[in-house]
Structures are given as C-alpha cells and as structure tokens.
Amino acid sequence: MPVDNILPADLLEARGRIRAHMRRLRATLPLKDAAERSLAAQKRVLAQDVWKQARSVALYVSVRGEIATRILLNDAWASGREVWLPRVCPDRSGEMVFARCPGWEYLRPGSFGLLEPEASLPGYGPRDTLFAPECMLLPGLAFDHRGGRLGQGGGYYDRFLAEERTCVLIGLCFDFQLVDCLPQAPWDRPVQRICTEERELCP
C-alpha cells in the first residue's frame, strides 16, 4: 500500500527532505521563468514520436508550481485525440479515476480545488480495460536518472499505476527537479521517459 508513513524512518526522512527542497525551489521560481521553461518542456514532448503517434493520451491539468500542460492539452484536443484526465474520488482516500474529457469546458474544481473532469463524465479505475492511453504524462516533485519518481506523498498515482500498463509513462518536470538517485519505496513505479525544459531522458 503506497503510504509513506509505513516506511523506515530514515527512508521517510530522506523523501521528506527532497520534497521540502523541491517545493522551496518551485516556490522561488519567478512566474516568467516558469512560463518560459514550461513552454520549452512542452515543446520537447510535442516533438517526440510517442506523442505524435498517440491517438489516446492521459494528461493532468497543472497547478501553480508544476510545469504547465495547457499547450499539450490544447494540442491533444485540437488534433482530435482521446484525452484522459484524473479525478479524485472524494469517498475513497488516496484513489482517483481517469475520465475522457472533450475540452476545457468540461472541467470543474475538484476536491482540492484542482480542475478535474466534471462528475457527469464516466471515470475509469486502474482495472478498467477501457482506459488504454498510448502515453501518460505524470507530474512529480522529483525524478531521477533511472526513471524514479517522487510524488506529493498522497499515493494517488502510485495506487493507480500498481496495475501493469503498456502505455509509455512520461515524467514532466523542471530540470532542477532531476536528481541522480531518489530514495524509492517498494510501490514506486518508474517512468520510461522524462522531459524537462533542457533535455529528454530515456532511462
């Protein structure tokens, strides 16, 4: 079960230090710099064959501090792709579903004030075969050169990705969020690619 507080104290402390450090770095990044870096990172995703060839993609609506995803969402909708977005399950702690979302007008503030697909759009869990994107972009507080990912600590993506998937997992982050090696938990699922404003990695 992906809950950090069941980890050994030293591992829990190491993960906590990295999270706090990355949150500070993101908080001090000027908005203009964040916008420019986000644009560059999204352009790197758009240039990848896996994105160009995918007809079904799973994304997320970014919040302040994260690499923006607006350009990717607009490109996906404009090109007629099937777009999946996450929605938190308010009655099931730490769980989320993904819903097909046809456009911005179908998004509403969710449980944490984040934009999510409205409740009228059917949500699919990790065992639903109807959820079958060809690539999936993941947010994260930190990634490492082996594809390791460290999230916010709620375990939403960890639970969802506990089921094996064939889609390509792409981590999206600022370059300063890349570290050599992350302290990993048994449930952490690595990504196959990482895109920042400066480079692409295929661990």
Q: DSSP letter string over 156-174? A: HHHHHTTS---SEEEEE--
> Is 80 within 8 Å of 74 (Cβ atoms)?
no
Neighbours of 80 (CB within 10 A): 8
pLDDT exceeds cutoff 80 at 111: no
pLDDT exceeds cutoff 70 at 1: no
Give the tens place of pLDDT for each residue, 126-162.
889 999 999 999 999 999 999 999 988 888 898 898 8
Give mean pLDDT, residues 74-80: 98
pLDDT of res. 98: 97
CATH no. for residue 132? 3.40.50.10420
Counting the structural domains of the chain, the total is 1
Over the range 94-131, which residues count as b (16 or more CB within 10 Å of their CB) and which as e? Answer: ebbbbbbbeeeebbeebeeebbbbeeebebbebeeeeb
Question: What percentage of the chain reaches a pLDDT higher than 90?
Answer: 70
Give the tens place of pLDDT for each residue, 3-29.
565 677 878 889 889 999 999 999 999
Side-chain half-sphere of 121: how many Cα atoms within 13 Å? Answer: 21
pTM confidence score: 0.91
What single letter denotes the amino acid at residue 88? V
pLDDT of res. 5: 58
Q: pLDDT band for position 115 (50/70/90)?
A: very high
CA distance 136 to 105: 22
Q: pLDDT band for position 78 (50/70/90)?
A: very high
Range(s) of the domain holding residue 177:
4-201
> Is 92 within 8 Å of 123 (Cβ atoms)?
no
Q: Which run of H or E residues covers position 13?
A: helix 9-27
